[in-house]
């Protein structure tokens, strides 16, 4: 029976480190601050924003909300971004996505100062991940996978990781982060042949296909560490890409959904605010 790799202790460790860092800034008279830019009043966006602000409060980061009308024009949005870039009291900016179709999200991401880009919208951060530079601000979910693996599995050197996902937001940057940890990486996708054999022969299996309960016991072995990144819903109930019960019966360890990758991802978003401050010489 697998050990359950809960995200909570990993998130808690990061939270406690951040509380100390934020307090140190406050002692110097600098109040770490994140601004969330939201277009319109979508209740899901507002709920997400409130969750981020609750975490901010616990850590000692100021959270500001900037709501733009649904009719906001591209030039107006870019002006807002420029203002935030130049505002020394704002250290991180989160632009809630997806943006309305009339806006060019790529151009907006490129306009955002790299050091304030806490959710990897600016391709300059992705580029740094691919080059292997330590001053990159990575996308939160791939980074959360690494944090969980390091917390529960320790040193990843020489471990073989199989990732099911080749997207630019998930599988590709995750592969680069795993390489930085000296893991050996195989990226898989919908055209991969013999996926069960590949996956079950790996030390680490990262499931991020976005298909509910797709991967059963044939994708794992007794040595597998499984990280389930999928967020799916069956009859309104959240589940991952793993057939959890079947995989947990056999694997060495597995993250649950919910309660695995998600809580770590939310903490890392705010860690990026503090990291961005360091990058800016604060
Ligand atoms: P995506 O762009 O749709 O990518 C899915 C990937 O899985 C693609 O590479 C696809 O292959 C592959 N795939 C799909 N079905 C497959 C199958 N039957 N066999 C093998 N490979 C298959 O999705 P995404 O945006 O990267 O997100 C993936 C999942 O992660 C979603 O469930 C999403 O909700 C979740 N997610 C979670 C978090 C978190 O914080 N936990 C954050 C972001 C996303 P092809 O390239 O060949 O199409």
State pLDDT tens for residues 176-229.
999 999 999 999 999 999 999 999 999 999 999 999 999 999 999 999 999 999
Q: Residue 166 C-alpha to ligand 1 middle, in angstroms?
A: 8
Q: What whole-number distance in Å separates Cα of residue 169 and Cα of residue 194? A: 25
Closest-CA residue, ligand 1 atom 7, reads 209
Peptide bond into 258 cis (omega under 30): yes
Q: How far apart are CA 58 and CA 278, in angstroms?
A: 21
Q: Is 242 exposed, middle or buried (0-12, 13-18, 19+ CB in 10 A)?
A: buried
pLDDT band at 282 (very low <50, low <70, confident <90, very high): confident
CA of 189 to the centre of ligand 1 (A): 9
pLDDT > 90? residue 10: yes
- By the 8 A CB rule, do 80 and 113 touch? no
Return d(Cα 166, Cα 74) in angstroms, integer: 30
* Whole-number Å distance between alpha carbons of 71 and 115: 28
Do 9 and 147 meet the contact criterion of CB atoms below 8 Å apart?
Answer: no
Give the pLDDT mean for 34-53. 97
What is the CB < 6 Å shell around ligand 1?
141, 164-167, 169-171, 189-191, 208-211, 214, 229-232, 261-262, 265
CA of 241 to the centre of ligand 1 (A): 9
Distance 105 CA to ligand 1 centre (A): 20
How far is 176 from 166, CA to CA, in rounded Å? 12
Say how many Å lie between the CA of residue 211 and the centre of ligand 1. 8
Closest ligand 1 atom number to CA of residue 144: 40
Looking at residue 148, its pLDDT comes to 98
State the Cα–Cα distance between residues 109 and 119, nearest whole angstrom. 10
CA distance 202 to 220: 8
Which residue is closest in CA terms to ligand 1's atom 34?
231
Q: What is the DSSP letter of 242?
A: B
Mean pLDDT, the chain, rounded, equals 97
Q: 96-118, pLDDT tens digit by residue?
A: 999 999 999 999 999 999 999 99
**Probe residue for ligand 1, chosen from 190, 256, 264, 268 as the CB with the greatest number of ligand atoms within 8 Å:** 190
Q: Is the peptide bond before 98 cis (omega within 30 degrees of 0)?
A: yes
C-alpha dihedral, 129 to 132 to 136 to 142, nearest 10°: 40
Tokens 């632009």 correspond to 95
How far is ligand 1, taken at its centre, from the CA of residue 208, in Å? 5
- HEC profile of 206-235: EECCCCCCCECHHHCCCCCEEEECCCEEEC
Nearest atom in ligand 1 to the alpha carbon of residue 241 is: 32
- Interval 12-36 mean pLDDT: 98
d(CA 136, CA 195): 32
Residue owning tokens 């947990």 = 248
User: 160-164 and 92-95: which strand pairing?
Assistant: unpaired
Rounded Cα distance, 70 and 83, in Å:
19
Q: Closest ligand 1 atom to the C-alpha of 191?
A: 47
Residue 261 binned pLDDT confidence (cut-offs 50, 70, 90): very high
Cα of 183 vs centre of ligand 1, distance in Å, is 21
The overall pTM is greater than 0.85? yes
Instruction: Please state, as a whole number, how many other Cβ atoms lie within 10 Å of the Cβ of residue 110.
Output: 16
User: What pLDDT score does 23 carry?
Assistant: 98
pLDDT (0 to 100) of residue 212: 98
Mutate to test the pocket of ligand 1, among 7, 170, 260 (most ligand atoms within 8 A of CB): 170
What stretches of the chain adopt beta strand conformation (E)? Answer: 3-4, 33-39, 62-68, 92-95, 160-164, 184-188, 204-207, 225-228, 232-234, 237-239, 253-254
What's the 28 CA to ligand 1 centre distance in angstroms? 43
Q: What is the pLDDT of residue 220?
A: 98
Answer whether 113's CB lies under 8 Å from 83's CB.
no
């Amino acid at each position: 029976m697998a050990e359950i790799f809960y995200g909570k202790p990993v998130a808690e460790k990061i939270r406690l480190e951040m509380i100390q860092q934020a307090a140190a800034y406050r002692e110097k008279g600098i109040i770490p601050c994140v601004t969330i830019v939201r277009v319109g009043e979508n209740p899901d966006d507002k709920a997400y924003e409130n969750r981020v602000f609750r975490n901010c409060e616990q850590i000692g980061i100021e959270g500001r909300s900037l709501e733009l009308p649904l009719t906001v024009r591209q030039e107006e949005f870019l002006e807002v971004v420029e203002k935030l870039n130049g505002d020394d009291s704002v250290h991180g900016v989160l632009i809630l996505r997806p943006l309305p179709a009339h806006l060019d999200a790529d151009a907006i991401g490129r306009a955002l100062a790299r050091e304030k880009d806490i959710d990897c919208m600016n391709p300059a951060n992705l580029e740094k991940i691919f080059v292997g530079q330590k001053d990159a601000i990575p996308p939160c979910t791939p980074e959360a996978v690494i944090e969980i693996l390091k917390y529960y599995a320790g040193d990843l050197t020489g471990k073989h990781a199989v990732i099911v996902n080749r997207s630019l937001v998930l599988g590709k940057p995750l592969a680069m982060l795993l390489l930085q940890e000296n893991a050996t990486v195989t990226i898989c996708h919908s055209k991969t042949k013999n996926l069960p054999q590949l996956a079950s022969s790996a030390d680490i299996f990262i499931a991020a296909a976005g298909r509910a309960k797709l991967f059963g016991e044939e994708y794992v072995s007794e040595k597998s560490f499984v990280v389930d990144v999928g967020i799916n819903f069956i009859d309104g109930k959240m589940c991952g890409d793993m057939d959890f019960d079947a995989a947990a019966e056999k694997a060495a360890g597995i993250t649950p959904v919910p309660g695995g990758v998600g809580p770590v991802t939310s903490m890392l978003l705010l860690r990026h605010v503090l990291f961005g401050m360091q990058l800016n010489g604060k």
